[in-house]
Amino acid sequence: MSAVGQAAASPGTFAKETLMNPLRTNRRRFLLTTTAIGATTLSSRTDSVLGANDRIQVGIIGVGGKGMDHLNWFKRNLQAENVRVAAVCDVYNRRVRRAAEASGAESFTDYRKLLEKKDLDAVFVVTPDHWHAKISIEALEAGKHVYCEKPMTLTAEEAIKVRDAVRRHSRVFQVGPNGTARDKYWKSQQAIREGRVGKVTWGQASVNRNIRGCAFNVWFPIDKTAGPDKGGDDYVNWDMWLGHEWGLAPRIPWNPEHFFRFRKYWPYNGGVATDLIYHALAPMLLAIAGDNGEYPKRVNASGGLYLEKDGRDIPDVFMMSVDYPSEFSLNLVSVLTNDTNVPTRIYGRYGTIDLTEDEPRMEGNGDYVSEFEEHNNGYKQVTLPVTKRKDLQGNFLDVIRGNGKLCCNADLGASTMIAIKLAVESYRQNRTMLWDSAKETVTAGS
């Protein structure tokens, strides 16, 4: 049903748009659009654009569970994407042997040797979080395009350093929160820019899990034969993994819990905040603030370790709220104790965007239904159609070849990381955390 020239849909019925409404031409929308295009061009610029017929050679640093997921994606898309995994690296011998056998790639146990390979166009950084910044920056300096798994870094300061390195080097840098590749957030961004729900003032989202034995244990089993004192496949370069030589984590004796389940411990990770909420916050910022996100103003967090008392550092119930300079707030939740999720919604003055399902639904609200109807061709309720987009890996390869724009560029990655890191520190320090946008530093509130 066409929305053009039709009467308002009856209550409870969502109008399904067959075509996106044409933009109303005005100065504000023009400025928003041209600003976004300029920012995207800067973040995606590369001096070594490859043609469609050029095979992209990829190295994967970290070939545990997620690293192998990426490797298997490349195997499935070898011909379609004209890509090859040429090198793999891990500090655990069993993992690197398995990855090399699965891909036919050259294997390394020291990422620095992998970065020396001149024939590599791009690297995937799939290590524990405390290594993300160091490896990403060194890869950029080595002339590689970089796909960095979420979270972008371990700390706020590291996020700024990586973002600045991306700006210095003419290379593509993508961060890996999956939701940013979903069209519903891009369609919502367009609707918000068009003023179809009015001024956005807040939003909410969650990523919850409830697995017997706890997701952060069950998903990451321990290889009991592995260790730094073992030989062959069982050998782990524990000192290298810790990175204590570079001040990345404290030097401690071999601890298989820390190695295989690093997401539970503060020196390497931010728990559910960095592992799960990152997936929720990045696409919400993409929709509300635009391609580059927005850096926070004030962050608070609450929660606790209520059930999973197994010696971990992190809470199993975590809630955070973020206030932004352009005057909207986000409430985000992640728990490991119940998998019922908060509906994903964005709230504007005229109406609400519900992103819980695959297609966003917009509905007029309160006394401002007439304004909603005015901006939505007379409808009280509208469903935004979505199209299939490439996933993050394919998007990354396209941008390397000079096509399209990144789903999660360095600014969106950094602004997401900083809000989440401030939330982690708010929880740990039991105080409000502030971001000084002029100095780009963290300060503590009351």
Task: Please compute the mean of the pLDDT values over residues 41-69 and round it to a whole number.
Answer: 75
Confidence of residue 243 (pLDDT cuts 50, 70, 90): very high
Q: Are strands 173-175 and 200-206 parallel, antiparallel or unpaired?
A: unpaired
Task: Please compute the mean of the pLDDT values over residues 372-399 and round it to a whole number.
Answer: 97
By the 8 A CB rule, do 223 and 94 touch? yes
By the 8 A CB rule, do 149 and 176 touch? yes
Least confident of 31-45, 195-209, 327-341: 31-45
Alpha-helical regions (H) of 295-368: none
Location of structure tokens 């166009």:
121
Radius of gyration of the chain (CA): 23
The top-level CATH class assigned to 15-42+180-213+270-444 is: alpha beta
Q: Tens of pLDDT along 402-413?
A: 999 999 999 999
What pLDDT shows up at residue 4?
Answer: 30
pLDDT greater than 90 at residue 381: yes
What pLDDT shows up at residue 53?
Answer: 67
pLDDT greater than 80 at residue 13: no
Confidence of residue 49 (pLDDT cuts 50, 70, 90): low
What pLDDT shows up at residue 35?
Answer: 33
By the 8 A CB rule, do 223 and 180 touch? no
What pLDDT shows up at residue 71?
Answer: 98
Task: Please compute the mean of the pLDDT values over residues 137-153 and round it to a whole number.
Answer: 98
pLDDT greater than 70 at residue 45: no
Q: Tens of pLDDT along 166-203?
A: 999 989 999 999 999 999 999 999 999 999 999 999 99
Separation between Cα atoms, residue 415 and residue 43, nearest integer Å: 14
pLDDT greater than 60 at residue 360: yes
Task: Please compute the mean of the pLDDT values over residues 301-312 and round it to a whole number.
Answer: 97
pLDDT greater than 60 at residue 358: yes
Fold of 46-149: Rossmann fold (3.40.50)
pLDDT greater than 70 at residue 234: yes
Q: Tens of pLDDT along 286-298?
A: 999 999 999 999 9
pLDDT greater than 50 at residue 108: yes
Where are the domains positioned within the chain?
15-42+180-213+270-444, 46-149
Separation between Cα atoms, residue 27 and residue 34, nearest integer Å: 11
Q: What percent of the chain has pLDDT over 90?
A: 87
pLDDT greater than 90 at residue 239: yes
Q: Which residue has the higher pLDDT, 30 or 149?
A: 149
What pLDDT shows up at residue 25?
Answer: 30
What pLDDT shows up at residue 445?
Answer: 78
pLDDT greater than 50 at residue 8: no
Indicate the SS3 state at residue 441. Answer: strand
pLDDT greater than 80 at residue 38: no
Task: Please compute the mean of the pLDDT values over residues 81-94 and round it to a whole number.
Answer: 98
By the 8 A CB rule, do 414 and 152 touch? yes
Structure tokens at 13: 């019925």
By the 8 A CB rule, do 121 and 400 touch? yes
* Bond prior to 151 in cis (omega within 30° of 0): yes
What pLDDT shows up at residue 47?
Answer: 47
Average pLDDT, the chain: 91
Confidence of residue 16 (pLDDT cuts 50, 70, 90): confident
Whole-structure pTM value: 0.89
Q: Which of 33, 430, 317 is nearest to 194 (CA)?
A: 33
Q: Which of 337, 333, 334, 273 is nearest to 308 (CA)?
A: 337
By the 8 A CB rule, do 422 and 433 touch? yes
Please, which residues have CB within 8 angstroms of residue 446's CB and are 6 or more apart in sequence?
Answer: 431, 432
Q: Is 366 left (phi over 0), alpha (psi -120 to 50) or beta?
A: left
Q: Which residues pair with 444 in a beta bridge?
A: 433
